[in-house]
Structure 1
Amino acid sequence: MSFFFVDLRSMNRSATHVVTEFILLGFPGSWKIQIFLFSLFLMIYVLTLLGNGAIIYAVRYNPQLHNPMYFLLGNFAFLEIWYVSSTVPNMLANILSKTKAISFSGCFLQFYFFFSLGTTECLFLAVMAYDRYLAICHPLQYPAIMTGRFCSKLVSFCWLIGFLGYPIPIFFISQLPFCGPNIIDHFLCDMDPLMALSCAPAPITECIFYTQSSLVLFFTSMYILRSYTLLITAVFQVPFAAGRRKAFSTCGSHLVVVSLFYGTVMVMYVSPTYGVPTLLQKILTLIYSVVTPLFNPLIYSLRNKDMKLALRNILFGMRISQNS
């Protein structure tokens, strides 16, 4: 750490924050392309809010969904709303903006919330895998273990760890000297573009940040993989085909979400991105930050009979109230 602090002390304090704003290039193209992208991302954002909001409403007001699995799913949907809101509103405003500028503090706030919410999502996926493992592999002990109080503790743990893990490293990154240029060839403030704009190297801070991110991804993904390995082994021991189909149907949606999210995130933050085309990096970031929150309510609602019934009851109740 001494190397890092010596570098900062040797800098001229008056030049530390010459850059007061960053320029997010986003997705280049003609005005027609920008309008198309704005319409597309706006539609995705609205559908994501509606889909995840419907899950929250169904879980909260339908007594049949008052159990640990749907409690976790409702909180996961709440997380997805905040996760997509950490990037998409600013991206929409940036598409229509002529300057495409984001303030220095706004950039690092987005950076913090984006990574904190992403870490929280990793932890939520691991907790949901634990819930499915208990429900299928230990059904007799499940009600005694997954109580409402224990579920609340798990949810609180995910939020606390997600938001307490990044303030210090991101604060140190924000204290690096940014003397110019200030152009970020991305649609959000991410680690690699920001470090590329710093006027002084900070290898220790960069190493700490990527090590922390890699450990979160590694341990949560390994735990999920272990849980589902044990789960699938237990499912194959079920003597009836109908029972196996029901168990796979229950967990299939979770596996789809996990594969989509972890596959793209690991490409970005575990494997080296040097030499990877910038457009490909943007597309990969779009998949796990924008597309996945859209797919989650579709996957969970279309593959779950109880959730489909609850959503159907909500729509039916709304029509009755409108007609009356």
Structure 2
Amino acid sequence: MSDTSINMQAGSDPVEAGFGDYFALLKPRVMSLVVFTAFVGLLVAPVSVHPMVGFASILFIAIGGGASGALNMWWDADIDRVMKRTQSRPIPSGKVTEGDAFAIGITLSAMSVVMLALASNIVAGALLAFTIFFYVVIYTMWLKRWTPQNIVIGGAAGAFPPMIGWAVATGGVSIESVLMFAITFMWTPPHFWALALFMKGDYSKAGVPMLTVTHGRKVTRTHILVYTLLLAPVALGAGFTSIGGPIYMATAIVLNLLFIKGAYGIWRRDETAAEADQYRVEKAFFKLSLLYLFLHFGALLVEGALKPFGLGGW
């Protein structure tokens, strides 16, 4: 199907794309997570940066994240047309052509990497470039359609922003930034597998080899519990480093207990009960997973914000 035919409604003129349609290409919800975690990584770093440098850096990180989203939508346009939850995106809805999405993604990728390197340092720019490459090439073009471990390995792409923020301030990588990366990396599989439990039909129809499609929901439930148990010590471990403190540790303990409880509840479920209540437990766990990541990084942000006043940290 050509771009022209995609952009034609039955018996009408081509759909006119607006600013909102082009902005939607950048996956603003994903971009907001990128901005937030990168900002936390920047703020909790032991080296302060000029406010204008910090603002510019976060802006270019956000643009780089958005560029990744545009390239992801360009490559996955065929899948997005099949899956119910993605059919309203700019390309499958016929508002933006695949060619335009590719041009926007490539242009913004190059601009964001170069400008971040100029605004902060080469290390931060290189990390952003690798993040875009990893998300678009390694995850989107390769892993997503090839292996049920797609979201496990591909989750690294979404875990890099706090490392980039840290590198903006320090010019390097440390145990603290690695642990911030690890929290998001280990959180990604149970988060997306919970979604896949009640969206299995969509993934199956689109031919995406999610774990629920290739190994079934029972195996997926076990994987969610295992990764949740592995995530807890990583999240708690960050609390013993220079970015941690009593506020973060209290938050991490409560959230990880709730997360483990939720994962255990999912593991115990059988499909008859899940279908009977329309995956109520699974949906609740998915919502909790969103809160889990936000509150962990929010607690780190509070610790970092209080340090200048002698209140944050240990």
- Length-normalised TM-score, structure 1: 0.30
- Length-normalised TM-score, structure 2: 0.31
